[in-house]
Amino acid sequence: MEEILEDKSVEPGPLAPDLRLPKDPLPRGESPRRVLIIGGGFAGLECARRLANDRRFEVTIIDRTNHHLFQPLLYQVATASLAAPDIARSLRQILMKASNVTVLMDEITDLSPEIHSAKGKSGQAYAYDYLFLAAGVQTSFFGRPEWEAYTLGLKSLTEAQGIRRCVLSNLEKAELTECEEERSRLMTVVIAGGGPTGVELSGAFTDLVHRSLRDDFRRIDTSDLRVVLVEGSSRLLGAYSEKQSKYALKRLEALGVEIRTDTLVADVTEQCVHFADGSKLEAAAIIWAAGTEANPLTRQLGVPLADRAGRLTPEADLSLPGFPEVFVGGDLVSLKDSKGSFIPGVAPAAVQMGRHVAAVLKEERRLENTRFKEQKLELRPRFRYFDKGIMAIIGKNAAVVSSGKLRLTGFLAWLAWLFIHILFLVGFRNKLSVLLGWAFAYARNTPDTRIIVQKQE
């Protein structure tokens, strides 16, 4: 734990180099500052880890689930390649050695920044000296909340398991039915949204039905599963170069995915997608990966929102305008980097923000016991985003990577993707089990995560 207390990644404020950390980090008679972190995702967890065992802080991290989730591999749970415990780990377990950190499972429903308090669904109120709001984003239906009832999202483990259950159950029903029309509906998956989530999911579905499940069924041919990827703009993977977009399109088409670009969804009803051109497509599985919006808690802070998706634009130190004790980070932030580009909603950005907030709090605490205490707000370090790039996997053996001037496609990109994703999985057990699981599935094409556990009625 020692090395994470030494934060070298954040530049100190302009006067900070003169200062020495006081010998006793918590001066006698002073009480620790209460830090409330909402969200145990990439940003919140990183902040808690950085403040771990620092006696100047009493940290409470609250999440509505009991685990930290590695979202980049959710699509593998949805397509029966990995099991849920491979990509999630209990927050308590991760933070068990951090004696100043309390983990609570509660859903924050109310924020009252004027009185430094938050309230949970449990009815508990949480008072704080500093708040770090890192509650992420949720699926957005562009003002059509009724579509939620007919679609499946991919933001949580429950949702990933819901997709897997739905698609596997549909294949079972297709094996049973005698009706051609019904079978065709049961064997159609529509994925709305041609970003990384849609591309990764559609590629993985083709792997599942062409390779893994190929020999499992007798009456149906699983490779008849129709995967339709729908994108409103003219190309897939809009954040990547045009060449990489074309590569993704060709690769997915070769895998059997039906791609419809320039296609807008006008309506979604039960098991049916209606398009803006008047056509419609019946599908027993409709996956919505077309948009996100900030956690609704951002709307309770009384500050102007950055966009219609409810994101917040903080000050350079990541605190909120008018609320220097409230920080925001991760996907719910809308901020530009030093080159003027928007910082993408990716895990490394969230981690860097969590790390930055912890560094600001430590710096501030240090200044409080010096002659610079009056200037502590002006001396706060600015957040600087270090862009590590973006990557998306396209079925087995292929990916696209875009990092600085580097553009990789194909097998090399896939290897880079594999290495990085395993490296960043939280916890050794997960890394090892994911690696072994993948190696086995890769060699044998037989994922053992295809058991359907029925939803409790």
CB atoms within 10 A of CB 365: 21
Q: 42 or 247: whose CB is closer to ligand FAD?
A: 42
Q: 39 or 232: whose CB is closer to ligand FAD?
A: 39
> 């496609």: which residue's tokens?
409
CB atoms within 10 A of CB 304: 8
Contact 65, 105 (CB under 8 A): yes
333, HSE (Cβ side, Cα atoms, 13 Å):
31
Type of residue at 293: E
* 252 φ, ψ (degrees, to nearest 5): -65, -40
Q: Which of 350, 367, 379, 434 binds ligand FAD (CB under 6 A)?
A: 350
Give which of 157, 158, 285 is closest to 227, Cα–Cα: 285
Length of the chain: 457
Q: Which of 10, 13, 35, 39 binds ligand FAD (CB under 6 A)?
A: 39
- Computed from CA positions of residues 47, 53, 58, 63, in that sequence, does the dihedral angle turn out positive or negative? positive
Binding mask 188-227 for ligand FAD (x = CB under 6 A): --------xx------------------------------
Question: What is the smallest separation between the CB atom of 151 and ligand FAD, expressed in angstroms?
Answer: 14
Binding mask 294-333 for ligand FAD (x = CB under 6 A): -x-x--------------------------------xx--
Pick the piece of the chain touching ligand FAD (CB under 6 A) from 14-22, 70-78, 216-224, 242-250: 70-78
Residues from 94 through 153 that contact ligand FAD (CB under 6 A): 107-108, 134-136
Which residue is catalytic, options 46, 58, 200, 315? 200
SS3 272: strand
Q: Which of 345, 389, 410, 427 binds ligand FAD (CB under 6 A)?
A: 345
200 is catalytic: yes
Q: Does residue 43 interact with ligand FAD by CB under 6 A?
A: yes
Pick the piece of the chain touching ligand FAD (CB under 6 A) from 252-260, 275-283, 342-350, 366-374: 342-350
Tokens for 161, please give them. 């398991």
Q: Binding residues for ligand FAD, how many (CB under 6 A)?
A: 33
Question: What is the smallest separation between the CB atom of 136 and ligand FAD, expressed in angstroms?
Answer: 3
In angstroms, the CA 351 to CA 356 distance is 9
**Rounded to the nearest 10 degrees, what angle do helices 347-368 and 42-51 cross at?**
30
Cβ-Cβ contacts under 8 Å for 412 (sequence gap 6 or more): none
Q: Which residues bind ligand FAD (CB under 6 A)?
A: 38-44, 62-65, 71-72, 74-75, 107-108, 134-136, 154-155, 196-197, 295, 297, 330-331, 345-348, 350
Catalytic site positions: 200
